[in-house]
Chains A and B, each alone.
Chain A
């Protein structure tokens, strides 16, 4: 997971790029068999113990998901923590330090 978190005028802009296959469960492989679904179902972000972002995703989200959002009350140097879980129980959690422009 790659995170860019930039603070400007009390608003933190966050961009996330997650390496994930986001298999829809509709695709057939070379032998004609359906490749089982495997996609991120939830993404959330924490800052100072609060959830500042919460999303449910499904197979309609592109491979290597990109999500951008903004929240208030964050400052340069503070930590934002992003985590996700997918339909097979896979998870990832990454911390990132909020930076200036």
Chain B
């Protein structure tokens, strides 16, 4: 009798113990796997551009091209995004209809850019800064803002500006986070659109080389400096607006700003930039 009882519990117990052991081992692996990816990514660019100091990748193409760097430095004398930052400050401080402000959602007076994007376990999805801004609005009875430019970009610009200097340090510690990270990674390396181009194809393989009249920026540091006042737009715009444009360039239909695809891509790209410093907003061509 005893033997049978023991037998009955033995197998499931064994399975449970194995499962626990596996889960514990996997939890450690996520961080390690991601770290291995980050190292490979950095090593790739260090080999491509041996003279570029690591920290300078936060400045994108200006880290690798002298003539455009001079023009960027000139823009920095008095960057047009300064106007957006000013507008953004006013928007951030203006109370909602219910009397509360963004300060009730964001600590540090809004200097929290470095906390985004992150994987939200409860929501089971990546949360970006723009998404959080809209969540704050909706929670306070306001309508969500459109996510390509305009007010949301101005608020994001202000928050980015006052958060400057904080390190990029995105954690990928759980299965959920790792899955989102992997989706972003797959998107980055997959070929898209009629032209069958991948993010990696342009921003790793062709980084620093010319694609028609453009010099392609290295993917390392891609997301540290958004939102950007892009000369082409003549105004401040978000990362997902830029992603949409790139998707169009591959001959594919752009995903909506703040779609899961772009949020996962932003997650992956920001993880790859761990160790750099947030330096938004920025001027770009």
Contacts and interface: CB of A to CB of B under 8 A. Distances in A.
A16 B82 CA distance: 11
A66 B77 contact: yes
B86 interface: yes
B83 A4 contact: no
A64 B77 contact: no
Interface string B258-284: 000000000000000000000000000
B78 A17 contact: yes
A3 to B, nearest CB: 9
Interface residues of A, number: 10
A19 interface: yes
A4 B234 contact: no
A35 interface: no
A19 B78 contact: no
A2 B83 contact: yes
A88 B80 CA distance: 23
B83 A66 contact: no
Contacts of B77: 15, 66, 68
Given A15-B77, A68-B77, A63 B234 contact: yes
Interface in B66-96: 77-80, 82-83, 86
Nearest to A1: B83
A40 B137 CA distance: 36
Nearest to A66: B78
B246 to A, nearest CB: 23
Nearest to A63: B234
A19 B78 CA distance: 12
B83 A15 contact: no
B234 A17 contact: no
B234 A2 contact: no
Nearest to A4: B78
Nearest to A2: B82
A63 B80 CA distance: 9
A89 to B, nearest CB: 22
Interface string A6-39: 0000000001110100000000000000000000
A67 to B, nearest CB: 9
Contacts of A66: 77-78, 80
A71 B234 CA distance: 30
Interface string A35-62: 0000000000000000000000000000
24 contacts: A2-B78, A2-B82, A2-B83, A2-B86, A4-B78, A15-B77, A15-B78, A16-B78, A17-B78, A17-B79, A17-B80, A17-B82, A17-B83, A19-B83, A63-B80, A63-B234, A64-B80, A64-B83, A64-B234, A66-B77, A66-B78, A66-B80, A68-B77, A68-B78
Interface of A: 2, 4, 15-17, 19, 63-64, 66, 68
Closest 4 interchain pairs by CB? A17-B78, A64-B80, A19-B83, A15-B78
Interface of B: 77-80, 82-83, 86, 234
Given A2-B83, A63-B234, A66-B78, 17 more contacts: A2-B82, A2-B86, A4-B78, A15-B77, A15-B78, A16-B78, A17-B78, A17-B79, A17-B80, A17-B83, A19-B83, A64-B80, A64-B83, A64-B234, A66-B80, A68-B77, A68-B78
